[in-house]
């Protein structure tokens, strides 16, 4: 696996929408995803499950984001643009090359490095190389300091190495951007509860339960914290 400092000018097929696989036949579609290299162990095609998921569309691009779980346990994600498949061509889909250029020019395609680094980071974490995982996340945050997925992962990695203040900061920033990552509130609750800060733990669990009212663990923990404060 390449070090984050060296991957800026490098890309891997399938890891980003910009450098997605672009099959022109159904057979190619199958073999490309089946032969995808696992980011965690480096093996090819040792997938125990694979699912292309629903067909998606972004402006002129038609694509899948496949999820393939490797024998090593790592969940790989690969983009497959299908504009060039016969069926889509029949429906007047724009050729993939033209479509990608168009969507890049119109600012619709995210920075490919962001998508690659997030996956690299997840693979490093799966291999328990947490320093490297954090290095990839830091690179993401240099590109976009407000990327919620990167901030969320930073919070998780900081918790892992018990840098709890940094973790709290990262999760709070996730919360401040939007409520698309409710797990940030749950994880904040865990940290506060562990530290004996029951008031903040309660606030965090309530915020999470607003989104997932039936989450048993959060409900039990909220009750525990309420009892601590009452007692
Ligand atoms: Zn693997």
What's the confidence (pLDDT) of residue 8?
54
- Residues measured by CB to lie within 5 Å of ligand 1, the ion: 38, 40-41, 70, 72, 74
139: Cα separation from own chain's centroid: 15
User: Would you say 46 and 67 are in contact if contact means Cβ atoms under 8 Å apart?
Assistant: no
Phi, psi of 48 (to 5 degrees): -90, -30
User: pLDDT tens across 192-225, in order?
Assistant: 999 999 999 999 999 999 999 999 999 999 999 9
Average pLDDT of span 83-110: 95
What's the 156 CA to ligand 1 centre distance in angstroms?
22
Identify any residues that bridge with 80 across adjacent strands, giving them in sequence order. 21, 64
What is the 127 CA–ligand 1 centroid distance (Å)?
Answer: 10
Give distance in angstroms: CA of 51 to centre of ligand 1. Answer: 16
- The Å distance, Cα 43 to ligand 1 centre, comes to 6
- CATH superfamily of domain region 115-230: Tetratricopeptide repeat domain (1.25.40.10)
Q: Average pLDDT, stretch 30-46?
A: 92
Distance between start and end Cα atoms, the chain: 52
Q: What is the pLDDT of residue 1?
A: 46
- Residue limits of CATH 1.25.40.10 in the chain: 115-230
Provide the strand spans (E) within 1-144.
Answer: 47-51, 56-58, 61-70, 75-81
pLDDT at 9 over 70: no
For the chain, helix (H) and strand (E) counts, in that order, are 10, 4
- 129-143 pLDDT, tens digit each: 999 999 999 999 999
In this prediction, residues 159-181 reach a mean pLDDT of 96
In degrees, rounded to 5, the angle at the alpha carbon of residue 64 between the alpha carbons of residues 152 and 17 is 60
CA 16 to ligand 1 centroid distance, Å: 19
The per-residue pLDDT of the chain, averaged, comes to 94
pLDDT of residue 112: 94
Q: What is the pLDDT of residue 213?
A: 96
Phi, psi torsion values for 215, nearest 5 degrees: -70, 110
Q: How many angstroms separate the alpha carbon of residue 27 from the centre of ligand 1?
A: 23
CA–centroid distance, 163 to ligand 1, in Å, is 29
Choice between 10 and 24, residue whose per-residue pLDDT is larger? 24
Q: How far is the CA of 70 from the centre of ligand 1 (A)?
A: 5
Q: Which residues of 33-52 are buried (b: 16+ CB within 10 A; e: fewer)?
A: beebbbbbbeeeeebeebeb
pLDDT at 5: 46
45 band by pLDDT with thresholds 50, 70 and 90: confident
- Contact (CB, 8 A) for 144 and 136: no
> How far apart are the CA of 36 and the centre of ligand 1, in A?
10
């Amino acid at each position: 696996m390449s070090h984050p400092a060296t991957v800026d000018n490098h890309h891997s097929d399938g890891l980003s929408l910009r450098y997605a696989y672009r099959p022109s036949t159904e057979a190619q579609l199958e073999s490309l995803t089946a032969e995808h290299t696992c980011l965690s162990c480096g093996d090819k095609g040792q997938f125990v499950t694979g699912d292309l998921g629903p067909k998606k569309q972004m402006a002129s691009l038609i694509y899948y984001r496949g999820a393939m779980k490797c024998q090593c346990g790592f969940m790989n994600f690969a983009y497959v643009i299908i504009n060039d498949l016969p069926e889509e061509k029949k429906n007047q889909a724009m050729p993939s090359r033209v479509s990608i250029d168009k969507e890049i020019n119109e600012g619709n395609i995210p920075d490919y490095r962001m998508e690659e680094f997030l996956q690299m980071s997840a693979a490093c974490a799966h291999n328990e190389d947490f320093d490297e995982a954090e290095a990839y996340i830091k690179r993401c945050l240099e590109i976009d300091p407000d990327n919620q997925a990167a901030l969320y992962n930073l919070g998780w990695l900081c918790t892992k190495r018990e840098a709890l203040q940094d973790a709290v900061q990262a999760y709070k920033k996730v919360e401040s951007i939007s409520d698309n990552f409710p797990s940030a509130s749950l994880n904040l609750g865990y940290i506060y509860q562990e530290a004996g800060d029951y008031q903040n733990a309660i606030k965090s669990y309530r915020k999470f339960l607003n989104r997932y009212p039936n989450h048993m663990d959060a409900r039990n923990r909220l009750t525990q914290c309420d009892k601590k404060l009452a007692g």
